[in-house]
Structure 1
Amino acid sequence: MLQPVSPRLGEAAVFRLPLPVDYAGVQRWLRVGFPQSFPRSTLSLRVEPSPWLIWPHAMETGLCLHGFQQKPVNGSPETVVKDSLSRLGKIIEISLPTADPAFRSEEFQREAISYWKNQQSVSNQNVSLLKRPSRSRSLIAVTVPRMRSHDGIEPVWIAESADDISAHIRRVAGVRVNIRAPASAAFYLRLTSYPEIKAPSPEGWLAWLTPHVAVDDFAKLLFWFGESSSMISRWVALELPGGSDSAIYCLNLRDHSLLPNRGVTLGVRAGRRQATRTSRDSLVIVSATINVLDRREILSRDRSIDAPLLSEARIVIVGQGSLGSPVALHLARAGVGHLTVIDPDELTSANLGRHVLGTDELGRNKALAMRDRLQRDVPIVSVVAIPAHVELALLTHPEVFESADIVIVTSADWASEVALWRKKSDGANWRLIQSWSEPNALVGHALVAPAGSADARHLFTDKGRFKHAFTTWPGGGSVPLPACGQSFIPGGEIGMSGVAGMVAQVGIASLAHRGEERLWVSSVSNPQLAEGLGGSYIGPVLPEHATSMTLTRAWPEAVPNE
């Protein structure tokens, strides 16, 4: 049944194959093209005439055989051909007259956003929805031109209230914005069913939506559309059926006079000073990238049972160095709602090899810089920075500790650790986690003290050396610096990251399981490297063939004073 046809430029051979008549009653043909570099280059499969918007998984220029960002199969020529035709066969089965129409419709719906985007141009303004509304309603929109990204894309923030947008901009950018007369330039619309796969025309977009929206919601949309008719750019966010975490597609309604590569500025008084459309009947519709920045969306891929428990948690992290900074970032991304970071030091170039912060923050106080970084990258976390030693913070900010669930000390500074253990021995109600890495970061430890009175100072020497260390090093392992009393504990980024992950997990477990145990958690990774670094490993033996392990048990027994 294969019919050879003339190759095009770059093709070695081409064949034509008749396909079964599809559900639309059309006889189509499969064009199989072998590029000259086959099988290094993928096989070309095209259906003629094009089944675009008729068959599921059919694109304008070909077929979506491998799904979103999936790599085509490689191997022998026979393997490539067999795999490609097998995938094609599944698409053809859905498109036969005997296929279930409901299943075919479901296949279209799963890829609805891809179909609509492929039919429309894309706006050059990204839309950020600060919180997913629980009902259809109008929203306000604000832009801040000075916060345009490096590629020139200007963000548009939409929310139910001006206070939400002001708080978000202040949190992520440190910019105070007083929104006095916001523009109601957006509408959030919940759909009850899927509109047609064919994207709407500017004249027919309301009719395209009408059968798929509740009557009351459509009335609200029409009212907003009339009230906002003077705006040259507006946004309609369509929540597809499927519940509170379903996908959202955003239409950007623009006046034809607005150039394709231009956005619109909606400032703090845009509701009073709106640009007027040149014609009320000349809309252009493009798609807009929309991101939801609420807690549910940001944490939607974390299905652990602990995630919902973290939003109200308050954790204080003492030290924002090579251990404390990744611990803070882990906890923020895990969903901890409130963090306080404490550190008196500034970021230097020697910190860059194993710190969360980068060159833009050189010379800045670590706590202040980490606050800005966390609030910019994880907008659902509230961060307070105290650029001071913890001994002073205990005196000047007692309320921070009184409201804390957990205090994690990562500073490896014995004076700071002693100050916190003194508070614990007096009955402080917050749980304390003292965490540190041994030299070269092959071993990390965390001592967990429950709420109430506890004291682990007896596990350390007078100079703060842990009496149950797993490694030994000449001179104690720390490296002195040419400054007054300063030194550092050596360790690379990979080792410190492992210890930081362990400490963050211990912190989250302590929030979720409020036990009374006094726990000692240790992580060990590649201890065989100690000898090559000039030290010795004297800790627990790892299981056969294992290169790392984590141990959890009660605090070690006291060792008599040496």
Structure 2
Amino acid sequence: MPEGVDPLAKCFKSAVSLVESRWQQAGLRPRRLDARQLATYRGRSAEIGWRFDCDFSDCRRRLDVLVTAAFPFAPAQVALVDRPSFLTWPHVERDGVLCLVPDHATFPIDDPYAGIAELLEMTFDLIEALIRGERNGDFRSEFLTYWHHAGRGQARTILSLIEPAPPSRIVRIWEGARRTIIADNDDTLRDWLRNFAPTIPAGELRFKSGLLVWIDVVPLPSEYPCSAKDVYDIAARAGVADHLDELAREMRQRLIVMLGAGTDNGPALVTTVVNRPKIVRGSDPLLAGFRPSRVPEKVLQARLFGGNAADRTSVERIDPTWVHGRDRDPRISSLRGATVAVLGCGSVGGPVAMTLARAGVGKLILVDKQTLTGANVGRHPLGVGSIGAAKTSELAKRIRSDLPHIKVECHNSLVQDLLLGADCPLAGVDLIVSALGDWPSESLLDEWQSALTRRLPIVYGWTEPHAAAGHAIVVFGSTDRLRDGLDATGSPHLIATRWIHETRSYEPACGAAFDPYGPVELGFITSMVAQTALDALLGQAASATHRIWLARRTFIEAAGGTWSDELRAIAPEALDGATMIERRWSRTAKDLAA
């Protein structure tokens, strides 16, 4: 027992003593596990264990109760010593430890005996159900877990971009040194790889075919394919054995066959690999007795899809619907087809662009003329490795690398140059987020929007000093304008905070002014701006919506500020801060209370 943290060691000893005392009171005499017995649970960090002899409906079985040094804060575990072979019963790990509760389950730490008693009650219920064969359906609903446990053959990382749905079909595959990528077509595969690893030479972007077999019923572990013949039989039952025959003629070193199926918890994808029989002393088992081009198809099929072992490998889904919401976010179909332009990729625009990418927006257009400096790094997604480079191109690299399925276009230029150009790339987007904080540019953008013949939402976002408050407004054009809430010089009619002293600071350089704030307080504002952008995209925010984030009142006062009279008039209930208010973007100062 580690003695480094004495209070925790006392908690552990007290909990163990309490549990053993309660067992004695109940007339139970479990045996303490010795070091050799505890060693059978290597990797479980078991500090102490007890063994019970228990009568079940079929026979007497031994149960081990295990606790780590973190007990009672970490719950106990129960293991079944006398058990059938691995994967005969669900919820029984290879070492016999039972999966009784999900990872998020909790137990009372002030009554450790009650927690163990509850686990033992669950254990008896589970084992009796397993004896009666009532839980085999769990093998199907939790298919990916049991397939992973049954993995065999060479370990490889397989990433899937395919749409996880029927029908069975040919898929395209790229195999690199560290990972294998599978997609529905060459274009998807090529675009993803160029984003993820742009330095891969074009000559190495060579793809081959594999097969997705969509099966009607999720197999039990006893039905998992063990041999190449098993794989062929599964394809034959699905009606796509002819695809395997076609792929077999290429006689590659390995043939990747994905299996897909619907489960109670959504679609599941796994992979089998049929390996070409090894050439031994120059003799090729596939060609024996025939010239390479003269092997009869039935002979080739029998030799490739014979009794040789098939690998079983797990798959990591990286298709957009899984990455962005695990198939449960209904917004993704709309967001995948959307294009959003982010103007200004600094401390506000940079985080907003990253958030929109992670939310699943299909294409981003980044516009900014500036390069990253050391002063930017503390509150920007980019790090010191990007200092001296254009913010747009570095941010694009980051998004492409993290989320290779997202399309990113970048313009290292002034917004004015784009708006005044003949072919403005902003004209065809679905939404613009302006984080410029620059009145000349944003007034031009406002005028440009008013001249459009279609409704194009623009979200403007900015911060007040110390990020004590932040603003996000949505303007659709037509009758609503950015300038409705600003004076002639671009200053907002409604400012949430007032400051006794000048808040703007200066670097020892010409015109290098900045507002002091850090990434923590800024995070609330960039999240609000990003949320407003999503709402505008999805039709959940009306034109002229104005959202204001207010930091904690104590934070503002500590920084030397206070709430403005205008804010006190329109939101007296929000003056403690740490909240967001929503109002209509006003035309004049007189409309503030409207």
Does the TM-score normalized on the shorter chain lie above 0.5? yes
Partner of 1:140: 172
For 1:130 and 1:535, locate their aligned partners in 2 and report how far apart those are by CA, in whole Å: 51
Q: Please state how far the C-alpha of 1:323 moved relative to its aligned partner.
A: 0.8
Partner of 2:61: 29
Partner of 2:398: 373
Moved more, 235-244 or 523-532: 235-244
Partner of 2:496: 470
Amino acid at match of 1:217: G
Amino acid at match of 1:192: D
Q: Please state how far the C-alpha of 1:86 moved relative to its aligned partner.
A: 2.1
Match of 2:268 among 222, 244, 247: 247
Partner of 1:191: 215
For 2:32 and 2:161, locate their aligned partners in 1 and report how far apart those are by CA, in whole Å: 55
Amino acid at match of 2:156: Q
Amino acid at match of 1:556: S
Q: Deviations over 1:465-511 (max 9, x none)?
A: 32310112356522222333232222221221111111112112222
* Secondary structure, counterpart of 1:435 in structure 2: strand
Partner of 1:16: 52
Mark the CA change 1:90 to 1:494 in structure 2 (over 3 Å): closer, same or farther. Answer: farther
Map 1:90-489; keep pairs closer than 5 Å: 90-97=125-132, 101=133, 103-121=134-152, 123-132=154-163, 134-145=166-177, 154-175=178-199, 178=202, 182-198=206-222, 200=224, 202-203=226-227, 205-207=228-230, 210=233, 215=237, 217-220=239-242, 222-224=244-246, 226-228=248-250, 230-242=251-263, 245-254=266-275, 283-301=308-326, 303=328, 305-396=330-421, 398-427=423-452, 429=454, 430-452=456-478, 454-457=480-483, 459-461=485-487, 463-474=489-500, 476-489=502-515
Q: Please state how far the C-alpha of 1:122 moved relative to its aligned partner.
A: 6.5
Q: Deviations over 1:77-117 (max 9, x none)?
A: 412321220221231231243xxx5x422122123332232
* Secondary structure, counterpart of 1:477 in structure 2: coil
Amino acid at match of 2:124: G
* Secondary structure, counterpart of 1:94 in structure 2: helix
Q: Please state how far the C-alpha of 1:536 moved relative to its aligned partner.
A: 1.8
Mark the CA change 1:501 to 1:428 in structure 2 (over 3 Å): closer, same or farther. Answer: farther
Mark the CA change 1:307 to 1:86 in structure 2 (over 3 Å): closer, same or farther. Answer: same
Gaps of 5+ in 1: 146-153, 259-278
For 1:37 and 1:486, locate their aligned partners in 2 and report how far apart those are by CA, in whole Å: 55
Q: Please state how far the C-alpha of 1:322 moved relative to its aligned partner.
A: 1.1
* Secondary structure, counterpart of 2:426 in structure 1: helix
Partner of 1:506: 532
Does 1:88 pair with 2:111? Answer: no
The answer as to whether partners of 1:172 and 1:375 remain within 8 angstroms in 2 is yes
Q: Please state how far the C-alpha of 1:2 moved relative to its aligned partner.
A: 5.9
Q: Please state how far the C-alpha of 1:17 moved relative to its aligned partner.
A: 1.8
For 2:479 and 2:264, locate their aligned partners in 1 and report how far apart those are by CA, in whole Å: 47
For 2:77 and 2:586, locate their aligned partners in 1 and report how far apart those are by CA, in whole Å: 66
Mark the CA change 1:34 to 1:123 in structure 2 (over 3 Å): closer, same or farther. Answer: closer
Mark the CA change 1:399 to 1:248 in structure 2 (over 3 Å): closer, same or farther. Answer: same
Amino acid at match of 2:241: A
The answer as to whether partners of 2:56 and 2:128 remain within 8 angstroms in 1 is no
Mark the CA change 1:375 to 1:134 in structure 2 (over 3 Å): closer, same or farther. Answer: farther
Q: Please state how far the C-alpha of 1:178 moved relative to its aligned partner.
A: 4.2
TM-score by length of 1: 0.82
Gaps of 5+ in 2: 1-26, 39-46, 280-302
For 2:226 and 2:491, locate their aligned partners in 1 and report how far apart those are by CA, in whole Å: 72
Q: Deviations over 1:291-343 (max 9, x none)?
A: 23333222344745543322222221111111111111222222222211111
The answer as to whether partners of 1:256 and 1:284 remain within 8 angstroms in 2 is no
For 2:463 and 2:336, locate their aligned partners in 1 and report how far apart those are by CA, in whole Å: 28
For 1:521 and 1:117, locate their aligned partners in 2 and report how far apart those are by CA, in whole Å: 47
TM-score by length of 2: 0.78
* Secondary structure, counterpart of 2:196 in structure 1: helix
Amino acid at match of 1:293: I
Partner of 1:267: none
Q: Please state how far the C-alpha of 1:386 moved relative to its aligned partner.
A: 0.6
Partner of 2:83: 50
The answer as to whether partners of 1:337 and 1:382 remain within 8 angstroms in 2 is yes
Amino acid at match of 1:493: P
Q: Deviations over 1:249-278 (max 9, x none)?
A: 1223345869xxxxxxxxxxxxxxxxxxxx
Amino acid at match of 1:207: D
For 1:84 and 1:36, locate their aligned partners in 2 and report how far apart those are by CA, in whole Å: 15
Q: Deviations over 1:347-383 (max 9, x none)?
A: 2222222211223322221111111112222233221
Does 1:551 pair with 2:551? Answer: no
For 2:115 and 2:191, locate their aligned partners in 1 and report how far apart those are by CA, in whole Å: 54
Mark the CA change 1:221 to 1:245 in structure 2 (over 3 Å): closer, same or farther. Answer: farther
Does 1:62 pair with 2:86? Answer: no
The answer as to whether partners of 2:210 and 2:255 remain within 8 angstroms in 1 is yes
* Secondary structure, counterpart of 2:420 in structure 1: helix
Q: Please state how far the C-alpha of 1:72 moved relative to its aligned partner.
A: 7.0
The answer as to whether partners of 1:56 and 1:91 remain within 8 angstroms in 2 is no
The answer as to whether partners of 2:140 and 2:218 remain within 8 angstroms in 1 is yes
The answer as to whether partners of 1:115 and 1:198 remain within 8 angstroms in 2 is no
Partner of 1:517: 543
* Secondary structure, counterpart of 1:104 in structure 2: coil
* Secondary structure, counterpart of 1:371 in structure 2: helix
The answer as to whether partners of 2:484 and 2:585 remain within 8 angstroms in 1 is no
For 2:309 and 2:236, locate their aligned partners in 1 and report how far apart those are by CA, in whole Å: 25
- Specify which structure has the higher proportion of helix: 2
Mark the CA change 1:223 to 1:443 in structure 2 (over 3 Å): closer, same or farther. Answer: same
* Percent of matched pairs sharing the same residue: 21
Q: Please state how far the C-alpha of 1:406 moved relative to its aligned partner.
A: 2.1
For 1:491 and 1:377, locate their aligned partners in 2 and report how far apart those are by CA, in whole Å: 27
Count of residue correspondences:
521
